[in-house]
Amino acid sequence: MSDSAAKIRDKRVKPRFKIEVHAHIKAQLIGSSSKYPFITENISESGLLVNHPPGSRHAFNKHSILEVWVTNDQGDEIYFFAKYVRKANDHSFAIKIIDVDGANSKKYQDFIDAHRDAAIPEDNDEDGVGNKEE
């Protein structure tokens, strides 16, 4: 593992894991009326790795604060604010949850807990989002 990958890993407060179901999400810049649909690649208690179709365009960058809606297995939406962290590769990016109210926090935790038994821990990733560094 490289020094930079180790530093990323050391900053992770909550464990990241892959889930077997891919959650549908919608995200938009705060104040925008344009919601973009995505699917999660993996999640943790503090953030998500989000897939988008190759070539799709969204207006997110390292300064973006997003409103996010995650649809759980029951079809309920879980709402929170997130910060765009970085582009992971050509078809995914990482976001970090920065603010979630009590009711949505409970729904999000319940969603994670429902998949924890089938989860694959990400203790073999090298860059902190499930991608091996070459």
Residue 50, pLDDT > 60, answer yes
CA 103 to chain CA centroid, nearest Å: 19
CATH number of 15-121: 2.40.10.220
Report whether 40 contacts 88 (CB < 8 A): no
For 27, the token pair is 């995200």
Residue 51, pLDDT > 60, answer yes
Q: In terms of DSSP H, where are the helices of 1-134? A: 3-11, 102-116
Residue 133 pLDDT? 37
What global pTM score does this model have?
A: 0.77
Residue written as tokens 């959650």? Answer: 23
- pLDDT band for position 123 (cuts 50, 70, 90): low
Q: Which of 102, 38, 103 is nearest to 71 (CA)?
A: 38
Residue written as tokens 């998500």? Answer: 48
The full set of domain ranges for the chain reads 15-121
